[in-house]
Structure 1
Amino acid sequence: MASCALIPLHAARPLLVAVAAGRRPADLVIRNGTWVNVHTRELLGAHDVAVAGGRIAAVAPDLSDRIGAETEVIDAAGRFMVPGLVDGHMHIESGMLTPAEFSRAVAPHGTTTMFVDPHEIANVLGLRGVRLMLDEALLQPLSLFVQMPSCAPSAPGLETTGHEITPEDVAEAMKWPGIVGLGEMMNFPGVIAGDGKMLAEIAATERAGKTVGGHYASPDLGAAFRAYVAGGPADDHEGTREEDAIARARQGMRPMLRLGSAWHDVKAQITAVTRAGLDPRSFILCTDDCHPGTLVHEGHMDRVVRHAIDCGVDPVVAIQMATINTAAHFGLERELGAIAPGRRADIVLTSDLAGLPVETVIAKGRVVATNGRATVDFPHIRWPADVRNSVRLGRPLAPADFEIRLAAERGEATVRVIGVIENQAPTRALEMRVPVRDGLIEADPGRDLAQVALVERHRGTGGVVNALVSGFGYGPGVAVASTVAHDSHHMIVVGTDRGMMAAAANRLAEVGGGVSVWKDGRELALVELPVAGLMSDRPAPEVAEAASAMVAAMAACGTRLNNAFMQHSLLALVVIPELRISDKGLVDVLRFAHTDLVAD
């Protein structure tokens, strides 16, 4: 087959015209497939697709005369030709994989384009981290468009991060090839209040003619919501109710309905289309955060599309929500998202439109996966040594660092407790009455009460903030530590034994980051994430195996949550209600203010 390196659209026009007119052969011809036309919502049988320079030159019932001596031919008889699937909002780091290995993992599932917000690494390494992610993203056989992270820290004054993002950083990044817009504007109170820094970042993005991503994690759909929309964010993936999706669509935002590993928000919101009858062209499907085990064993955007279909969406409409709708939102509808002339030749062949088994995946005109296996290389960059050594505690931690002390004379206290909610990002702000013994509050597994600690890991200050959490169901003698701790990505340790908490934290400092699970004096599982303490550059199946062992170990510690790690990793996300922990203390997200552990 001739080279399928992608030619820029303006430069490709003469080639595409020549192939479409029959003056020269195509690089690739797909024959006799059923064309899923997302522009017209039609299924058109027995069509051919001619590809040249990585782009679609023509779609017609018979393009056999475009087949030359070196043309690759794929017989699609009995199969549907679906546009390559597009993830409208996601964080690669949540998959514990580098861009190359994440791409290798999702290509067999039909994902050919991702809109990537690398705000996890931005919190650790700043603009330099974004550049490293972009550099590897641009090497991939898939199309990875990067959104410049907007909020590091996500809530100024409530947390500190390894690095900060400034309006000047945003303006600089808007000049880089591959930057498609501004990542989710998480500081929604700042936008509503007219914060100059947030509005300057939005202005820099809009001056560049690019899209501003949204993040409105509040149930208030009144004046505050309208003020946020007026600030410029064009989409939002934080809705969890039908009324959230309807309100966003009515105000001209694109509701992004997510199905990740732990966030299952499609079913509750898709009724805005299936019941309320809203125009589905406003709706986009995305994953947001996907665990590596989900990617390897369940799928990626194919999983999301199947789920939408199971929720009652017409298969072609569901495919539109994962292709053309997303492309149009980012101003790229002439570039991708459909099987039509000029578009990137991103095509999935499947024998069942509703079940969506992914049989052949073509990206930029190349077959990149067949029957569940990647068939091309996914190039890596060399990650600098300091990026692979980012966990700095300053000192070994001891059990005493995890003590929660009150005045010795108190016999009991009412305390604030973070309550996790299965399969959702928000938490509940709980209050519990607990005993105080010798001035200490202890974890109480019998009441599902564990300790949670945030350990500063960017500057080596040795700082530890302690609080309480409920909902994991851990038994005695347990600890789980992780350097994946959205969004500041310090270290989060949850446990019922202070000795185990210290052991888990010190273990992650030793290996350079990841997740460590301990019970009764021994380590049950370890996932090493040496790249910024967030990612591994090992192959996805290997990381997925380690991550699956981690999930099993957490279950052995007593949790019954669907994906306890994803809940664990969001305990410090101080922009999603209701109660969170940061390096500065407990945060009441409804008030966007610090609050005390003791409530009485």
Structure 2
Amino acid sequence: MTQTIPTWQDTAARLIAVARGAEAADTVIKGGIWVNVHTREMLPDHDIAIAAGRFAYCGPEASHCIGPNTQVIEARDRYMIPGLCDGHMHIESGMLTPAEFARAVIPHGTTTMFTDPHEIANVLGLSGVRLMHEEAALQPINIYTQMPSCAPSAPGLETTGHEITPEDVAEAMTWPGIIGLGEMMNFPGVIHGDAKMLAEIAATQAAGKAVGGHYASPDLGPAFHAYAAGGPADDHEGTCEADAIARMRQGMRAMIRLGSAWYDVESQITAVTERGLDPRGMILCTDDCHSGTLVNDGHMNRVLRHAIDCGCDPLVALQMATINTATHFGLEREIGSIAPGRRADLILTSDLRRLPIEHVIARGQTVAQDGGITVDCPHLDWPGTARQTMNMARDVTVDDFRIAAPKGCSHIEAQVIGVVENQAPTQALKATIPVMDGNLTPDRDIAHIALVERHKATGQVTNALVQGFGYTTQMALASTVAHDSHHMIVVGTSPADMARAANRLAEIGGGITLWQDGAEQALIELPIAGLMSDSPATEVAAKADQLGNAMRAAGCTLNNAIMQHSLLALVVIPELRISDLGLVDVTKFALTDLLVSET
């Protein structure tokens, strides 16, 4: 059953009565340091009274709010900060369902998430979005859904399992809990006035909701200004200070991210810490965090600590993870601060810089204490249609993973996808590749990459080359997490192991597997859409750790390399990507040839 919190209108009379002492509060937190994100103050020796899941009184003394049945929590001079908000993220990137993702992040102090389920939208369409939205609504924290905007993200350059239409967007805007439109990834479409993209934006704005941005280009000239004129209210694809400044100057929020593999906070937060720009235009987010990061390192508390370590004043950083986010989505009167009338989302911590999360309250209820969750996170009964998504025409073979060279040549120059550590963009490289027995035989740090179609049973396998993983053994890594169309990406140095890995995922219904010298070394089963597991986050994280160890044993030293692997088919982020239709030059948004010249 959906977990709802009474509206302010429903509770106003009681909140007022509690504040003046005419009725008793449900809970009073006594003797804490009230961190006020409205005024950027720390107010010692203050009390907070909670009633009906909302803050009723915030002041120096709340004894008048305490009755015989009031729960009293002694803050003992700890900081009382608002629950943390993630302004942009994809639950599917955690390889977890909404319930298990919530279970993983609640002990880290996350009480609100703004999620864009465009991963499942590419596989299952609007029905998949509805399933994510329904399970999100069951959780004891606030999970707002942004309706995905771009499936496919680059029409004509990839094939998805389902497409999202303007009619789908208009329908979703009527659902309760839909907060806006997910990141508008087809930025060339917006820049050139594509009618479908503009119709989706118009439907969102007509509903009075925010349009998420995604401008993955370093060009800050007329193209960027055209995109800004198209209506996106925020953008998280910036990688340098100039990107953050340009977005804020155009009235967009610069969402700066620290995910499992995206380290874009340090290079952009200087717009505030050094240039002195108004921090109200900046929001902290994660974008993509896998389960290992959530279990071992944290969630928004990790981002907040990192921002502080990058030189940001702790109170300013806290604003970027609370009130700035709430205000951006039109929810300042609901979430994002400790103030009367707002949902009672609060954290007790003894250190404002290192942020140990000692007690978490969401909607007035204790949901975690001393690192352990204290509430249930209900699961949806996911239907068979969401668990049977490997629609492949046949088993693949070794021959599917060979790249034939022109007859008679011993070497050939080819384009190579270059992985950039801790960044979403790739490089467009060229390399001379040896030819043996008529096929390209990459050496050094160049591996084979293939995309195996899994939605329409076409049997299509697209081949290319990738550099940067550092594999030194005969191996293959296959994954059905392959942003954004989520076919199957296989990277390897052994065509035989590439075939074994691909067929293994077809057999189990999706996931990630690593094979070395003919044997499986690691496996993460992701039976829901080939993207998620409904197992506990700790179990998925343990398998992710095993996968990381297997990747390192195969020679890969990249930080969170599995995230880099999963984005190699993301055909809206420069420079070079792979899709089911071929190799894509994202700087031109056009298919390009793999082979350049023979020698």
- TM-score, normalised by the number of residues in structure 2: 0.98
Give the corresponding residue for 1:491.
488
Please point out which of 552, 555, 579 is paired with 2:552.
555
What is the CA–CA distance in structure 1 between the aligned matches of 2:432 and 2:442, rounded to whole Å?
12
- The answer to whether the 8 Å contact 1:190/1:198 transfers is yes
Give the corresponding residue for 1:168.
167
What is the CA–CA distance in structure 2 between the aligned matches of 1:9 and 1:582, rounded to whole Å?
48
Indicate the RMSD between aligned Cα atoms, in angstroms.
0.9
- The answer to whether the 8 Å contact 2:314/2:352 transfers is yes
What is the CA–CA distance in structure 2 between the aligned matches of 1:521 and 1:483, rounded to whole Å?
20
Unaligned ranges ≥5, structure 1:
none
Unaligned ranges ≥5, structure 2:
none
Please point out which of 454, 476, 483 is paired with 1:457.
454
- The answer to whether the 8 Å contact 1:443/1:497 transfers is no
Where in structure 2 are the equivalents of 1:215-254 lying within 5 Å? 215-254=214-253
What is the CA–CA distance in structure 2 between the aligned matches of 1:395 and 1:9, rounded to whole Å?
56
Give the corresponding residue for 2:410.
411
Q: Spell out, residue by residue over 1:512-568, the C-alpha distance to the aligned partner (whole angstroms, 9 max, x if none).
A: 111000101100000000010000000010110011111111111110001110000
Q: Secondary structure at the match of 2:106?
A: helix
Give the corresponding residue for 1:159.
158
What is the CA–CA distance in structure 1 between the aligned matches of 2:558 and 2:189, rounded to whole Å?
33
Q: Does 392-401 or 266-275 show the bigger shift?
A: 392-401
- The answer to whether the 8 Å contact 1:191/1:228 transfers is yes
Q: Does 400-409 or 253-262 show the bigger shift?
A: 400-409
Give the corresponding residue for 1:212.
211
Give the corresponding residue for 1:584.
581
Question: 2:24 is matched by which residue type in structure 1?
Answer: P
Give the corresponding residue for 2:106.
107
What is the CA–CA distance in structure 1 between the aligned matches of 2:434 and 2:542, rounded to whole Å?
41
Give the corresponding residue for 1:531.
528
- The answer to whether the 8 Å contact 1:408/1:438 transfers is no
Where in structure 2 are the equivalents of 1:258-297 lying within 5 Å? 258-297=257-296
Where in structure 2 are the equivalents of 1:123-522 lying within 5 Å? 123-444=122-443, 447-522=444-519
Q: Secondary structure at the match of 2:132?
A: helix
Q: How many residues align?
A: 595
Q: Secondary structure at the match of 1:145?
A: strand
Q: Spell out, residue by residue over 1:23-45, the C-alpha distance to the aligned partner (whole angstroms, 9 max, x if none).
A: 11111111111000000000001
Q: Spell out, residue by residue over 1:37-73, the C-alpha distance to the aligned partner (whole angstroms, 9 max, x if none).
A: 0000000011111111111111011112212222211
Question: 2:108 is matched by which residue type in structure 1?
Answer: H
What is the CA–CA distance in structure 2 between the aligned matches of 1:6 and 1:536, rounded to whole Å?
28
- The answer to whether the 8 Å contact 1:572/1:582 transfers is yes
- The answer to whether the 8 Å contact 2:434/2:442 transfers is no
Give the corresponding residue for 1:64.
63
TM superposition shift of 1:410: 2.3
TM superposition shift of 1:5: 5.8
Give the corresponding residue for 2:15.
16
Question: 2:158 is matched by which residue type in structure 1?
Answer: E
Question: 1:592 is matched by which residue type in structure 2?
Answer: F
Question: 1:183 is matched by which residue type in structure 2?
Answer: G
Question: 2:520 is matched by which residue type in structure 1?
Answer: E
Q: Does 7-16 or 84-93 show the bigger shift?
A: 7-16
What is the CA–CA distance in structure 2 between the aligned matches of 1:485 and 1:136, rounded to whole Å?
23
What is the CA–CA distance in structure 2 between the aligned matches of 1:217 and 1:475, rounded to whole Å?
32
What is the CA–CA distance in structure 2 between the aligned matches of 1:438 and 1:505, rounded to whole Å?
24
- The answer to whether the 8 Å contact 1:26/1:52 transfers is yes
TM superposition shift of 1:581: 0.1
Q: Spell out, residue by residue over 1:425-469, the C-alpha distance to the aligned partner (whole angstroms, 9 max, x if none).
A: 00000000112223210232xx10100000001122211000000
- The answer to whether the 8 Å contact 1:479/1:493 transfers is yes
Question: 1:460 is matched by which residue type in structure 2?
Answer: A
TM superposition shift of 1:505: 0.4
- The answer to whether the 8 Å contact 2:99/2:136 transfers is yes
Q: Spell out, residue by residue over 1:250-299, the C-alpha distance to the aligned partner (whole angstroms, 9 max, x if none).
A: 11110001000000000000110111110111100000000111000100
Q: Secondary structure at the match of 1:392?
A: coil
Question: 1:161 is matched by which residue type in structure 2?
Answer: T
- The answer to whether the 8 Å contact 2:44/2:77 transfers is no
What is the CA–CA distance in structure 1 between the aligned matches of 2:9 and 2:416, rounded to whole Å?
57
What is the CA–CA distance in structure 2 between the aligned matches of 1:597 and 1:559, rounded to whole Å?
24
What is the CA–CA distance in structure 1 between the aligned matches of 2:460 and 2:63, rounded to whole Å?
68
Give the corresponding residue for 2:32.
33
TM superposition shift of 1:200: 0.4
What is the CA–CA distance in structure 2 between the aligned matches of 1:508 and 1:26, rounded to whole Å?
54
Question: 1:144 is matched by which residue type in structure 2?
Answer: I
Where in structure 2 are the equivalents of 1:71-90 lying within 5 Å? 71-90=70-89
What is the CA–CA distance in structure 1 between the aligned matches of 2:159 and 2:71, rounded to whole Å?
54
Give the corresponding residue for 1:572.
569
Q: Secondary structure at the match of 1:554?
A: helix
- The answer to whether the 8 Å contact 1:5/1:54 transfers is no
What is the CA–CA distance in structure 2 between the aligned matches of 1:575 and 1:244, rounded to whole Å?
17
- The answer to whether the 8 Å contact 1:46/1:77 transfers is no
TM superposition shift of 1:248: 0.6
What is the CA–CA distance in structure 1 between the aligned matches of 2:194 and 2:90, rounded to whole Å?
25
What is the CA–CA distance in structure 2 between the aligned matches of 1:584 and 1:72, rounded to whole Å?
61
What is the CA–CA distance in structure 1 between the aligned matches of 2:511 and 2:463, rounded to whole Å?
20
